[in-house]
Structure 1
């Protein structure tokens, strides 16, 4: 498992802009319906989410499950949430997992570009 994580990290660093570009396309197809430039009742805006405290946007009402989570949106936390939102935070409202490892890596890379 650790070997996979190190390989994925190296891949992310090496692929950089191309991976983020792929992530942007995936984000537009899978995520943009709920995650706009400004928070909506469907989902928070994701500008600055990478590295931010979990459930910290003041303009969105998070589920109690996410509000109870400690820490920040690290790459590992973003990956875990995207892979299985209900496993990461039982009771979370997000119902759209991203099962493919490469798709999650690309979306996480893209989220780093949202500043």
Structure 2
């Protein structure tokens, strides 16, 4: 529990340009192939702070049924364990590393 609280706090405090740049590299290696706005995954431009499942995309019922917004904590939980965050989601790729999740989230926040 303490570790996850620390991770969320680190996400909020550590959103430096260098962290976002690292996240951009990770995004390009791990996420970009599917998240181009095509049939595999929605574009993630503007996703940080947006309502969950609000982009133009054919979301799974699992994500359509989630309420709330893509906060740092929700993005972190989803990237850590997509099927745990939204059982039935079609996203199968997780990001186990706290540091990598923090960097990807910092990058997502730059996509406006």
| RMSD of equivalent CA atoms | 1.7
Distance 1:21 1:12, change over 3 A: farther
Structure 2 portions without partners, runs of 5+: none
Is contact 1:35–1:45 with CA below 8 Å preserved after alignment?
yes
Aligned residue for 1:65? 62
TM-superposed CA distance for 1:9, in Å, is 2.5
Provide runs of 4+ in structure 1 moved above 3 Å: 1-4
SS of 1:73 mapped into structure 2: coil
Structure 1 portions without partners, runs of 5+: none
SS of 1:98 mapped into structure 2: coil
Greater RCO structure (CA 8 Å; 6+ sep): 2
Aligned residue for 2:85? 88
- State TM-score, norm by structure 2: 0.91
The number of residues matched between the two structures is: 112
Is contact 1:12–1:19 with CA below 8 Å preserved after alignment?
no
